[in-house]
Chain A
Amino acid sequence: MEGNSVVKFLRKYMMLIAMVIVMIAFSFITNGKTLLPMNITNLISQNAYVYVLGTGMLLCILTGGNIDLSVGSVVCLAGGVGAIIMDKNIPWPIAVVAMLVMGLLVGLWHGFWIAYVKVPPFIATLVGMLAFRGLANIIMQGYAYGIDNKGFLDVFGGGATCYVPDFLAKVGPDLEFGGYTLNKTCMIFAVLAAVGYVIFTFYNRTRLIAKGYKVDSLAAVIIKSVLIFAVIIWFGYKLACYNGIPTVLLWIALVLGIFAYITTKTTLGRNLYAVGGNEKATRLSGIDTRKVMFSAYTLMGVLSGFAGILNIARLAGSTPTYGVGYEMDAIAACFIGGASAYGGTGSVGGVIIGATLCGIINQGMIIADTPVNYQKVVKGLVLIIAVLFDVIMQMRRKGAKKKTEAANAEKGGAKA
């Protein structure tokens, strides 16, 4: 069964490995330009919306491969609402609340039709995609709005203040490494995060051992910890070489953290997986499956509103054409990250990998001066390769399952 464990390993980490390979490949093609601190930083801020929308999309996909086509339009609508409010010199926190409420209302609207009236999600959100885009145009009357509200831009990372200020710049001597002056706040933050991760991993492992649970072998855990430690430090260093922590990174981390928690540790999360795996069985287990669907689309709406906030902050303004095609980026991130198109499997971790891989490919092609139309072809092909991989792995797994069945047959009556 050694071959089996290799397959298992590949299945689990394939996209991660692919990501590293793609990253290295692009850095060769572009003579290392893609790994410059500025480009690493941009990778995060340019793709912030993919992480946020991908997380929401994951919830919908988990419930049975259902998608939300409207998110691009909702990003635009929420952004438009916020921009108009700020344009009227109303305090920015009100605008932020209004944008989230806008997203929430859209989510409730979709949730109602999909969960309670049983309109197929594809249709319901296609309607949303058209209607909310139109609505955005109506309220903005076709104009673009600029945003110069300093408070808003500071908090959500837009314009000239995209970064967390270096509080520690004056403390101690300048930190220089590899020809860059490092942002100390960022570096210290990265070290804390890396050390924290390692401590938590080992603490958790000892706790599980104490309770007598099965855990991964010590060697595997050490290798994994060392790798993740190195990645965090490297990433922090790259950010520190440029302007430090992009503000938006904090928001992304917050969203991903909250939803990773919801999907793995709460009953709502559990119910999302159950509904996607077998809706009837879930209903007969006394779970209100309508409520689960409703929650998924409502949360998707709120996250669309939040992506709208990040979007207008980054671009310091809003126009009626923002957000076109965002839904596709979010859907692609989920599927590349291993979510099943039939529902029931997928994770926030997968979304992170999927969104990052998309971002790397996008950025790499731009830096390598690939013509725009070719970029689209490549992006399409990447999606089919990712899904193809999933399909092949599933087939192999079925093959493996047949083998186990045969193995059981060998044991004869033991199989009961």
Chain B
Amino acid sequence: MAKVLLEMKSITKTFPGVKALDNVNLKVEEGEIHALVGENGAGKSTLMNVLSGIYPIGTYEGDIVYDGEVCEFHNIKDSEKKGIVIIHQELALVPYLTIGENMFLGNEQGSKWCIDWNKTYAEADHYLNMVGLTDSSKTLIKDIGTGKQQLVEIAKALAKNAKLLILDEPTSSLNETDSRALLDLMKKLQREENMTMIIISHKLNEVSYVADKITVVRDGSTIETLDAKKDDISETRIIKGMVGREITDRFPKRHDVEIGDVMMEVKNWTVYHPEFSERKVCDDVSINVRQGEVVGIYGLMGAGRTELAMSIFGRSYGIGISGTLKLRGKEVVLRSPKKAIEAGLAYVTEDRKGNGLVLTNSIKTNTTLANLGAVSKATFIDKDREYQVAEEYVAKLRTKTPSVEQLVGNLSGGNQQKVLLAKWMFADPDVLILDEPTRGIDVGAKYEIYCIINDLAKAGKSVIMISSELPEVIGMSDRIYIMNQAKIVGEMPASQATQENIMSCIVGVSGESSSSESVGSEG
């Protein structure tokens, strides 16, 4: 029986008026990979912030027993001294510094007055080797992809003599190949270095793949700890713990919709990367969508899906675009998002904070932004009308907010997504392109978004749904395109789609080059 490395005993963390953590217990044994799962806002991050000293001793109740002794962390430095290192979801690397410089940032090698660069780079290479990265430590961070950057973060943590590594959503920005590589690295570190790790993740398939134990957090309490050796750790089982009920239908029933004529048709669409003008991000792509139809485009991140969607949407991405675009059988040329909206297209971005919403503005102004003309006469905004519209969509999409004047930046991810959808629904398009509409939102909100998509199809809209979650694509679409390495590599009706034959479409072409290192799905 391995010894217990970390024990968090009845941790209670109270924010004024609210208990964020209520009597939480967590036990992690040395050398195990322990997963922490739970819906957004369940208290996972708060718990890890307590552990790493971001919330210092005295601001919470309970004990942290680490390596046999009760610890009092006043800040992150204290916890790092003990070997507890946290890797945050958002990468904290400086793009214009080298890998080596980044790894020892704040922990510079050499004497107090002089940095020993030889030592720095030698050490850096040593740790890079450990995480299986072959790039030189003198490479600039901006020149390597996100997958490798994540590895650098881990190497950086190792360089701090980490004994307990906390990874907060490490794969959220990685494609499937890189994710798998990262998970395998975790297993290797466990095997070879006897490293103890805590992983927080929303991707339950990864959790079941990598974890020895899974602790489910709900409403600020630990609900249960599942042991991979003894218990069932299938996704369904974990979800049951997370939401407190078994979700038998993860996807709502489709309405019986009569599928009409072809609404939009894209033929021989080729797009080049805006910076590396040699590189094709879409290569001879032809797709179509009919009225009332939900068409799924499945592909891994970097397959060219976002690039395809944005280049169709008023050429908002890419250069050297060629091919034809037909709407209701008529060929159109859309040179700007404005023209695209006028022609009846809408693109709901995957990057809602970066490309979708104005976080400093209210729900009301975000809702009408893409169609201000509809609530104004000439250039003058009819504020009453605008208010009514916003209220109407908040009610329709069941957005949870005290009022429509609430700033969008203050909403949770799921509600932000609803505001984004409201904005595009109010623009009243014929064709909606939804790019990863359920990314980063929890199970309950996902279900609601699926219902909205079905309602849109019922109302006669054509929906293109881009997703990298296979079950979602299969569960929601009428027809599925599979995209890989800038090409459409398969098309099938949903009735014939299974995880196996979709994956085989992808494997069929990607054999020759598996190094699809982050094509950079630029926003």
Query: In the complex, A285→B316 CA distance in Å?
Result: 11
Q: How far is the CB of A332 from chain B (nearest CB, A)?
A: 22
> Nearest 7 pairs between A and B by C-beta?
A412-B219, A277-B358, A416-B445, A406-B20, A286-B341, A285-B370, A286-B338
Chain A residues in 8 Å Cβ range of B16: 3, 403
Chain A residues in 8 Å Cβ range of B523: 280
Chain B residues in 8 Å Cβ range of A416: 400, 412, 414-415, 441-442, 444-445, 448
Q: How far is the CB of B72 from chain A (nearest CB, A)?
A: 23
Determine the residue in chain A with the shortest Cβ distance to B355: A280
- Answer whether residue A266 sits at the interface, using C-beta atoms and an 8 A cutoff: yes
- Answer whether residue A410 sits at the interface, using C-beta atoms and an 8 A cutoff: yes
- Answer whether residue B387 sits at the interface, using C-beta atoms and an 8 A cutoff: yes
Contact with A along B190-222 (1 / 0, CB 8 A): 000000000000000000000000000011100
Known pairs A274-B361, A286-B427, A415-B400; list 5 more (Cβ under 8 Å).
Answer: A268-B379, A270-B369, A283-B316, A403-B15, A416-B441
Within 8 A of B (CB), among A189-229: 211, 213-214
| Stretch in B37-45, B106-114, B172-180, B296-304 with 4+ CB within 8 Å of A | B37-45
CB atoms of B43 and A285 under 8 A apart: no
- Answer whether residue B347 sits at the interface, using C-beta atoms and an 8 A cutoff: yes
Q: How far is the CB of A153 from chain B (nearest CB, A)?
A: 35
Which bucket holds chain A's interface residue count? Answer: 35 or more
CB atoms of B337 and A285 under 8 A apart: yes
Number of A-B contacts (CB under 8 A): 149
**A278 and B357 contact, Cβ closer than 8 Å, known pairs A403-B16, A416-B415, A416-B445:** yes
Contact of B41 among A270, A280, A408 (CB under 8 A): A408
Q: How far is the CB of B448 from chain A (nearest CB, A)?
A: 7
Contact with B along A279-314 (1 / 0, CB 8 A): 011111111100000000000000000000000000
User: Could you write out 7 A-B pairs with CB less than 8 Å apart?
Assistant: A281-B349, A281-B354, A284-B316, A407-B17, A410-B20, A412-B41, A416-B400
Contact of A402 among B15, B314, B358 (CB under 8 A): B15
Determine the residue in chain B with the shortest Cβ distance to A280: B355
- Answer whether residue A401 sits at the interface, using C-beta atoms and an 8 A cutoff: yes
Most buried by A among B370, B441, B523: B370
Residues of A within 8 A of B (CB): 1, 3, 211, 213-214, 265-268, 270-271, 273-274, 276-278, 280-288, 340, 344-345, 401-416
CB atoms of A413 and B219 under 8 A apart: yes
Contact with A along B217-238 (1 / 0, CB 8 A): 0111000000000000000000
Chain A residues in 8 Å Cβ range of B42: 409, 412
CB atoms of B41 and A278 under 8 A apart: no
Query: In the complex, A402→B46 CA distance in Å?
Result: 10
Contact with A along B331-351 (1 / 0, CB 8 A): 000001110111000010100
CB atoms of A280 and B354 under 8 A apart: yes
Q: How far is the CB of A113 from chain B (nearest CB, A)?
A: 21
Determine the residue in chain A with the shortest Cβ distance to B384: A211
CB atoms of B43 and A345 under 8 A apart: no
CB atoms of B381 and A413 under 8 A apart: no
CB atoms of A409 and B354 under 8 A apart: no
CB atoms of B361 and A406 under 8 A apart: no
CB atoms of A415 and B15 under 8 A apart: no
CB atoms of B338 and A405 under 8 A apart: no
Residues of B within 8 A of A (CB): 15-20, 39-43, 46, 218-220, 243-244, 313-314, 316, 336-338, 340-342, 347, 349, 354-361, 365, 369-370, 372-373, 376, 379-381, 383-384, 387, 400, 403, 410, 412, 414-415, 423, 427, 441-442, 444-445, 448, 523
Determine the residue in chain A with the shortest Cβ distance to B20: A406
CB atoms of B355 and A281 under 8 A apart: yes
Chain A residues in 8 Å Cβ range of B41: 405, 408-409, 412, 415
Determine the residue in chain B with the shortest Cβ distance to A409: B41
Q: How far is the CB of A212 from chain B (nearest CB, A)?
A: 10
Q: How far is the CB of B30 from chain A (nearest CB, A)?
A: 30
Q: How far is the CB of B343 from chain A (nearest CB, A)?
A: 11
Q: How far is the CB of A156 from chain B (nearest CB, A)?
A: 29
Query: In the complex, A284→B384 CA distance in Å?
Result: 25
Most buried by B among A285, A287, A408: A285
Chain A residues in 8 Å Cβ range of B400: 414-416
CB atoms of A267 and B412 under 8 A apart: no
CB atoms of B381 and A267 under 8 A apart: yes
Determine the residue in chain B with the shortest Cβ distance to A343: B360
CB atoms of A282 and B220 under 8 A apart: no
CB atoms of B415 and A288 under 8 A apart: no
Q: How far is the CB of A349 from chain B (nearest CB, A)?
A: 17
Q: How far is the CB of B520 from chain A (nearest CB, A)?
A: 16
Chain B residues in 8 Å Cβ range of A401: 410
CB atoms of B442 and A270 under 8 A apart: no
Chain B residues in 8 Å Cβ range of A266: 376, 379-381
Chain B residues in 8 Å Cβ range of A286: 314, 336-338, 340-342, 370, 427
